[in-house]
Amino acid sequence: MQSGNAVEALFNPRSMAVVGASSNPAKWGHIIPSNILRDGYRGRLYLVNPKGGRIHGLPVHRSLSEIGESVDLAMVTIPAEGVREVLGDCAAAGVKAVIVISGGFSESSPEGRRMEEEMVERAHALGIRIVGPNTMGIYSAPWSLTALMPPVRPRPGHIAFAAQSGNLGTQMLGWGSYRGIGFSRFVCVGNECDLDFADYLEYFARDELTRVILLYVEGFKRPRRILELARKITPRKPIVIYKAGGTEAGRRAAASHSAAMAGSQEVYRGMIRQAGMIQAETTEEMLDFSDALVKLPVPRGRRLAILSWGGGWGVVEADLCERQGLQVVPLPGEVKEELSGILPSYWSKGNPVDLVGIVNLEDHTRCLEILASHPDFDLLISLGTVNAAAAFGMAERPEEVPLEEKEVFAVRRRYVREGSNRFAEKVVELMERHGKPIVTVGMPQRDAETAEVADLPRDRLCVYTNPERAARVAAMLAERGEFLRARG
């Protein structure tokens, strides 16, 4: 049975119904429609409950057939036992895909497994495909559709994300919003009783809005099919994958969580490599890597220049990058000469380029331009200049500064902040001009990470809060470049 139309309807529903809508604020049948309405779903939303009435200001239909219009997508929040029953109504209303939120299926008991199998059988007989069960729902950016259980508000963007965990998946969406990282589509795959990773992957591959695919996986139902698909996709669109359940303790936990057979980590590693997928080693890297692949160009090689405000950070970053297989190459003579025209006589004359005590941020920008323009460097890492005001504690609340110092402090902060922002804009401009990535590091966490730093060009800039993350992202980009060149 073809999944294409169903997944198309899932992510682009002109209309959807929530079956099991509730006036009780503690029920998912209440909370999910509230999330959908809050984010302004662009299609038509229908609520269904045999009791009728009004919820969230909308009329409640007693059944799907009462709606009297065709419905593309249904989301079911009623107890497991009742789900099979409503499928007939769904089919009659023209529903192509049903998201089954309810738990209590194969993840919980042999009886649940039987119910799940019967549900799928019935659905297929009716020409319907099922998402879940035991899922937290979906998100689709072009429809402003946040059909999710938790009240996260995803940011629209270009990452499509399929997750075998509802909490982890939706919290990543929320984390992304804080950091200015946007998603095109999201699905919590649940028990995968019918539609599975392979089906979503196929859709993400052809979805024009999606530029990077992200997967959180405990175990694949159809690993061979995934391998076959991923091989075709990765030369065009990167796939970032986090594989959980690699240890004995993790495998046991996965078995009881998603009923997934986590399989051997070595087998998965081999498969990921063969398919050209990019393995995130930490949960943080899931977002770091996906975001960088959306925003930054891919480098032509591994030759790296480091520009650092603060010698210590330069030492740390040089160590990290060398360990990651990047080449911290010597500075060409003409670069040294040009930099000597800007930096004080006692500058390091080496790579990393230490900006020593230079407080004039225009000079930072000039040094960056010299390094970025030189053909001997394939990629750059800049530490300490982006977000400098926060790094030096200057982003603290003005009311904490003693009165007599307020004015001087404000002037100094404005100076640093403005210079730092001009530098960030130059980073973006130089990346576009030279087509090489510039990864930036700005401490501390709060300001560097959050979308609150509204004056930074976040849609084209990646800022990490420590040198480790920057080194890992830079190395990942270099590997991606090599992969693409090898595929011609």
Interface of this chain with a copy of itself, residues 372 to 391, rule: CB under 8 A: 384, 391
Per rule CB under 8 A, is residue 359 in the interface with a copy of itself? Answer: yes
Please give the residues from 161 up to 190 whose contact with a copy of itself meets the rule CB under 8 A: 163-171, 174-175, 177-179
Cα end-to-end span (Å), the chain: 35
In angstroms, rounded to a whole number, what is the distance separating the alpha carbons of residues 76 and 96?
A: 13
Residue 133, interface with a copy of itself (CB under 8 A)? no
Identify which of residues 9 and 193 has a Cβ nearer to a copy of itself in the complex. 193
Our CB check for a copy of itself shows the closer of 3 and 324 to be 324
- As beta bridge partners, residue 129 has 97
Distance CA 307, CA 367 (A): 8
Phi, psi of 218 (to 5 degrees): -95, -40
> Contacting a copy of itself (CB under 8 A), which of 51, 252, 273, 433?
252
Residues 101, 16: Cα–Cα separation, whole Å: 14
* Backbone φ and ψ of 54, nearest 5°: -130, 140
Give residue for tokens 């990167």.
238
Q: Give, as ranges, the residues between 12 and 51 that touch a copy of itself (CB under 8 A).
A: 25-26, 34, 37-38
Applying CB under 8 A, which part among 231-239, 276-284, 292-300, 453-461 lies near a copy of itself?
276-284
Buried b (16+ CB within 10 A) or exposed e, 476-486: bbbbbbebeee
Query: Is 323 a binder of a copy of itself (CB under 8 A)?
Result: yes
| Contact flag: residue 408 with a copy of itself (CB under 8 A) | yes
Smallest gap from Cβ 380 to a copy of itself, in A, equals 15
The H or E element containing residue 170 is helix 166-179
- Of 182, 354, 426, 478, the residue at the interface with a copy of itself (CB under 8 A) is 354
**Binding flags for a copy of itself, 188-227, as an x/- string (CB under 8 A):** ----------------------------x-x---------
Rounded Cα distance between 367 and 235, Å, is 35
**Which one of the spans 14-22, 118-126, 207-215, 314-322 is the region binding a copy of itself (CB under 8 A)?**
314-322
Nearer to a copy of itself, 129 or 464 (CB): 464
Classified as helix, coil or strand, 438 is strand
User: CB of 261: closest distance to a copy of itself in angstroms?
Assistant: 13
Q: Which residues contact 407 (CB under 8 A, 6 or more apart)?
A: none
Per the CB < 8 A criterion, the answer to whether 383 and 315 are in contact is no
Residues 85-114 close enough to bind a copy of itself by CB under 8 A? 103-104, 107-109, 112
